Amino acid sequence: MVSLGQPQYRAGQLAEWLYKKRATSFDQMSDLPRDLREQLAGRFSLSKTEIVRVLGSRDTTRKFLFRLGDDSLIESVLIPASPALYGSRSDRRTICVSTQVGCAYGCKFCASGLEGFSRNLRPNEIVDQIIATERESGEKIDNIVFMGMGEPLANFDNLLSAIRIINAPWGLGIGARHITVSTSGLAPQSRKLAEQPLQIRLAISLHGATDAVRNRIMPINRRYSIETLLAAGDDYVSRKKQRLTFEYILIKDVNDSEEEAHLLAKHALRLRAKVNLIPYNTVQGLPWSRPSQDRQEKFLAILREHEVPATLRREKGHDIEAACGQLRLQTKRELQLR
Ligand code: SAH
Ligand code: SF4
């Protein structure tokens, strides 16, 4: 606003229109002078994020597929109130948002990485997922998890810009403790995140308690080993004075042995981390499957024997292709879009 020769308070007015009143055109911004509105419309554009598909229904997990200005497809998942997800109160509505189109990290089990990486999302494309989902669902979202498509810490600057908007009182006003960033293991970037003043939560997608298992399913582990990653986690915990979460997908005959459970417990105790066990969602074209219910429960019981706070996610969203990247992949195959 200052560079346009406007008084500073115009910035506040603009933010109000964008994030509180959720204007869809500059024309609606009635307390801005007409010539300024025209100037803005000539230089900038408002959201081109469009919802093209919604799966699921109210009271269940709902999945939103978006088309961006350049026709790329991304997805978000809206998770209804559920007990103690990522440290949140049980009455919170959580959205799982994407940070990249595709993913470059190529974890063997994940649909997001299957077709490689296209590009980083810009800060507004990250924030738009929340605004568009609130508009479509009519619900206020109060918990954000960066667990959609892409590796958030590989899009570090745009992620932080988006978080600032999400957190700011002039933006969406969601407290940093209700924002969780998930990483597959970018140890140096998670140290950088620890240096940020905001009390953002960190989740580590561990999925294996040994380098042997992680090397098999997550190529990133060859760059940053478990020990490197846990040391970075240690650093996060000591700076932020908060618990972190280990995400652990249970994949049959890959990472579900009792031995792996005991080792996972050891890592969790060392970092005072909570463990979220997630039965694997099958992805079309990939050979992996989830262990039997008994085996899942056994794995959980071992963690609890060690007094590790642990949860096992019991069915939510399997039927709507809710694991990251699945809906996009399916839609692309159907529509043969880009
Ligand atoms: N790239 C980041 C964040 C996005 S992935 C990361 O990997 O942490 C979000 C979560 O979904 C990760 O824990 C990921 O491992 C998990 N996930 C991916 N594919 C899945 C599948 N088929 N079934 C269940 N969870 C899956
Ligand atoms: Fe990328 Fe995360 Fe999927 Fe791995 S699990 S391919 S890092 S989105």
**Residue 113, pLDDT above cutoff 90:** no
Note the pLDDT of residue 56.
83
Residue 182 Cβ inside 6 Å of ligand 2? The answer reads: no
Residue 312 has pLDDT above 50, yes or no: yes
By alpha-carbon position, which residue is closest to atom 8 of ligand 2? 150
The predicted pLDDT at position 337 comes to: 45
Block residue for tokens 């961006």: 68
Q: Atom 22 in ligand 1: which residue has the minimum CA distance?
A: 281
Token code pair at residue 209? 């308690």
Q: What three-state secondary structure class fits 245?
A: strand
Q: Ligand 2 within 6 A of 324 CB?
A: yes
Two tokens at 168? 């700011």
**HEC readout, 278-306:** EECCCCCCCCCCCCCHHHHHHHHHHHHHC
What does the alpha-carbon distance between residue 294 and residue 286 come to, in Å, rounded to a whole number? Answer: 23
pLDDT > 70: what percent of the chain?
Answer: 89
The yes-or-no verdict on residue 166 having pLDDT over 60 is yes
Q: Which residue owns the Cα nearest ligand 1 atom 26? A: 323
CA distances from 36 to 42, 114, 116 (A): 10, 45, 42
pTM score: 0.92
Give SS3 for 63: strand
Q: Which atom of ligand 2 is nearest to the CA of 184?
A: 7
Asked if 73 and 328 touch (Cβ cutoff 8 Å), the reply is yes
Distance 58 CA to ligand 1 centre (A): 24
CA–centroid distance, 12 to ligand 2, in Å, is 37
281 close to ligand 1 (CB < 6 Angstrom):
yes
72-84: pLDDT as tens digits: 999 999 988 665 5
Task: Report how far ligand 1's centroid is from the alpha carbon of 114 (Å).
Answer: 12
Q: Which residues are catalytic?
A: 75, 324
**Mutational test site, ligand 1, from 94, 110, 229, 314, max ligand atoms within 8 Å of CB:** 110
Measure the CA–CA gap between 155 and 100, rounded to whole angstroms: 7
Check pocket membership of 110 for ligand 2, CB cut-off 6 A: yes
Distance (angstroms) between ligand 2 centre and the Cα of 268 equals 21
pLDDT digit string (tens) for 12-34? 999 999 999 999 999 999 999 99
pLDDT (0 to 100) of residue 274: 96
